[in-house]
């Protein structure tokens, strides 16, 4: 039996399944927030792994999502022992500089938390010899831009931000179908984040979100929060609790998509499922 020595209690993980896609709802209920963060330790990620945050249209919270992922990873346990997490734009645009959203200068280090790590905001190309635990990229908006990013960087993970209305969700499902069937983008690479702050739900948005799940690795919702409003300097030291928990779960699914975790049965679970 595995034991979490820092908290003096057993680690209860769900039973392994023959299906390569994990039972995500059950997995999220089983893992505590602390255990989810522990699984994301930067030492376990492949060096210089890229997470490309994309969108099919502007105004979906793509830049905000990229920053939140970078800050969340830099705030993980023992992150201060690693080199900074990099946050960069794949194609810098005059009106979309990530560093302006964080109230920082370009190529500046942002300290995250009291004992957290650092995020480096940069626009310069990364040299292959620079080993960083993670590189989070804010990709340009648009379907063709998303296709270009996914095709050119076949080893990257993709986080796709979308609006919560039915039309946007349906168009996203069509785009994923095209990306997978016509362009050969692996379903496992794509995690979809439905940003509740980017629009309003309508009558059929829930079924559309459910149908979207068969075309990607997982689907998450990011709740609207006043601290993440347009034009505001985004938080780095104190990310709101509900937002932080949601982004931890998003990052955990991205981690599982590139290196599926081997899970063991919780004590007594085999008997209950027999």
User: What is d(CA 80, CA 168) in angstroms, rounded to the nearest whole number?
Assistant: 39
User: What is d(CA 90, CA 96) in angstroms, rounded to the nearest whole number?
Assistant: 11
5 CB-near residues (< 8 Å, 6+ apart): none
Mean pLDDT of the chain: 77
CATH of domain 3-273: 3.40.50.300
Tell me which of 120 and 131 has the higher pLDDT: 120
Confidence of residue 254 (pLDDT cuts 50, 70, 90): very high
Tell me which of 47 and 60 has the higher pLDDT: 60
pLDDT of 220: 95
Tell me the pLDDT tens digit for each residue of 57-70. Answer: 988 999 889 989 99
Tell me the pLDDT tens digit for each residue of 131-145. Answer: 777 899 999 999 999
DSSP state for residue 84 in the 8-state scheme: P
Backbone phi, then psi, for 116, in 5-degree steps? -80, -175
Tell me which of 192 and 76 has the higher pLDDT: 192
User: Is residue 54 pLDDT above 70, yes or no?
Assistant: yes
pLDDT of 271: 39
User: Is residue 183 pLDDT above 50, yes or no?
Assistant: yes
User: Is residue 7 pLDDT above 50, yes or no?
Assistant: no
Q: Where are the domains of the chain?
A: 3-273
Asked whether the beta carbons of 133 and 42 are under 8 A apart, the reply is yes
């Amino acid at each position: 039996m595995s034991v979490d020595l820092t908290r003096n209690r057993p680690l209860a993980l769900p039973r392994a399944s023959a299906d390569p896609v994990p039972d995500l709802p059950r997995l999220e209920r089983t893992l505590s927030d602390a255990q989810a963060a522990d699984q994301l330790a930067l030492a376990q990620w492949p060096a210089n792994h890229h997470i490309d945050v994309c969108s099919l249209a502007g105004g979906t919270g793509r830049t905000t999502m990229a920053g939140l992922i970078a800050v969340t990873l830099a705030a993980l346990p023992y992150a201060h022992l690693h080199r900074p997490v990099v946050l960069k734009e794949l194609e810098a645009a005059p009106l979309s500089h990530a560093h302006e959203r964080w109230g920082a200068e370009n190529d500046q280090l942002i300290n995250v938390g009291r004992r957290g790590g650092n995020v480096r905001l940069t626009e310069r190309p990364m040299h292959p010899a620079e080993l960083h635990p993670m590189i989070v990229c804010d990709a340009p908006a648009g379907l063709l831009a998303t296709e270009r990013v996914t095709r050119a960087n076949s080893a990257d993970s993709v986080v796709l931000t979308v609006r919560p209305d039915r039309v946007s969700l349906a168009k996203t499902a069509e785009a994923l179908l095209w990306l997978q069937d016509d362009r050969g983008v692996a379903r496992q690479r794509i995690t979809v984040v439905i940003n509740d702050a980017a629009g309003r739900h309508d009558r059929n948005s829930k079924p559309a979100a459910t149908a979207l799940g068969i075309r990607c690795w997982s689907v998450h919702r990011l709740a609207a929060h006043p601290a993440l409003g347009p034009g505001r300097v985004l938080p780095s030291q104190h990310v709101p609790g509900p937002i932080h928990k949601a982004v931890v779960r998003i990052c955990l699914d991205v981690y599982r998509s590139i290196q599926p975790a081997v899970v063991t049965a919780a004590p007594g679970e085999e008997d209950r499922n027999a």
